[in-house]
Amino acid sequence: MNEQLFSLQPFPSENLPPNVQITGTISRNHHQLAISYKLLGELTEIAIASPSDTPSRKHELWQDTCFELFIGIKNSERYWEFNLSPSGDWNVYRFDGYRQGMQEETAFTKLPFCVEQSDIFSLTLDVDLDKIISTNQGIEVAITTVVKQKNSLVSYWALAHKGTKPDFHLRNSFVIEF
């Protein structure tokens, strides 16, 4: 297992929330991928959904504050987008290529993750990649977050922004390799 630290950078914009940082860790151990996000700063300015009693699979979670993870198979166009809402709602989409062939990934019927909030908001996910990728396949990962402020301004955070506008689907921004 090789754990890596990360720090997300905002796409340059006037919509940035004050004094906010997004950091965390990611690791892969055979077929298990573990990621932990930490949202730090003036969280009172951020629209963070309240935990749901019945979290479920939902569409368009990126319309609000949403933690995202993109996993691509090395030397392949195929990739997956994981969307994780602070409410506990989630979704996983499979793509055949850049924004092509988007389908809900049915290999996952639930995606339990842990959310904690105090002065720091944290979200932790352990996912079994064996459902979509064989243990010996190399993967490329992009870690991203959409941050919506209470005043409705939105900012886009990622390990790398390779385009002229925020676009989490660009494969050259999948910069972590396992």
Say if residue 1's pLDDT is above 80: no
* DSSP notation for 70-96: EEEETTSS-EEEEEE-TTS-EEEEEES
Model pTM? 0.93
Condensed to tens digits (0 to 9), the pLDDT of residues 63-118 reads 999 999 999 999 999 999 999 999 999 999 999 999 999 999 999 999 989 999 88
Q: If you average pLDDT over every residue of the chain, what do you get?
A: 94
Number of domains the chain is built from: 1
pLDDT value of residue 11: 96
Condensed to tens digits (0 to 9), the pLDDT of residues 15-28 reads 888 899 999 999 99
Residue 52 is part of a domain; what is its CATH number?
A: 2.60.40.1190
* CA 132 centroid distance within chain: 17
Say which residue the tokens 């959904």 belong to. 49
Confidence of residue 141 (pLDDT cuts 50, 70, 90): very high
Q: Could you tell me which residues are beta bridge partners of residue 50?
A: none
Condensed to tens digits (0 to 9), the pLDDT of residues 35-68 reads 999 999 989 999 999 999 999 999 999 999 999 9
E-state strands within 8-162: 9-10, 20-29, 32-41, 66-73, 79-84, 90-95, 103-104, 113-117, 121-128, 139-148, 154-158
Q: What is the mean pLDDT of residues 124-148?
A: 94
pLDDT value of residue 162: 92
Cα–Cα distance for residue pair 145/157, rounded to 1 Å? 5
Cα–Cα distance for residue pair 48/36, rounded to 1 Å? 17
Q: What is the mean pLDDT of residues 162-178?
A: 94
pLDDT value of residue 15: 82
Domain that includes residue 162, residue range = 4-177
